[in-house]
Amino acid sequence: MKLGIVLTSHSAETNWNALRLANLSLVNGDEIKIFLMGEGVEYAKTGTEKFNINQQIDKLTQHPKFAIYACGTCLKLRNDSGSDTCPLSTLQDLYEVIAWADKVLTF
């Protein structure tokens, strides 16, 4: 399955659960693309000891069937230029994730 995930949350628990699902999907042989939008572009900063976001990100980024994108406008509104785990992307990239995916989930 090709699973698209749109992450818009600033909640550590919500983000952690979305990333855990992405990792589980990869283990089951699926392809995953995540698009970060709105507060979701801050996802890496939301981690806590209880909700270890960085651990989930590290697992994801090591997998060849994983890709991540981040809304460039949302990043610019936060004076952020992006990073490897939050790469500057466009709404065209979001459209392509949606068109590519068999299923799209939003968190």
30-83 pLDDT, tens per residue? Answer: 999 999 999 999 999 999 999 999 999 999 999 999 999 999 999 999 999 999
Q: Which CATH homologous superfamily contains domain 2-106?
A: DsrEFH-like (3.40.1260.10)
Q: What is the pLDDT of residue 34?
A: 98
Determine the pLDDT at residue 27. Answer: 97
Domain boundaries, the chain: 2-106
The pairing of strands 2-7 and 103-106 is parallel
Predicted pLDDT of residue 58: 97
Q: What is the pLDDT of residue 79?
A: 96
Report in angstroms the alpha-carbon separations of 86 from 46, 48, 68, 102: 13, 18, 7, 23
Q: What is the structure's pLDDT at 63?
A: 97
Q: Model-level pTM?
A: 0.95
Cβ proximity of 69 and 32 under 8 Å: no
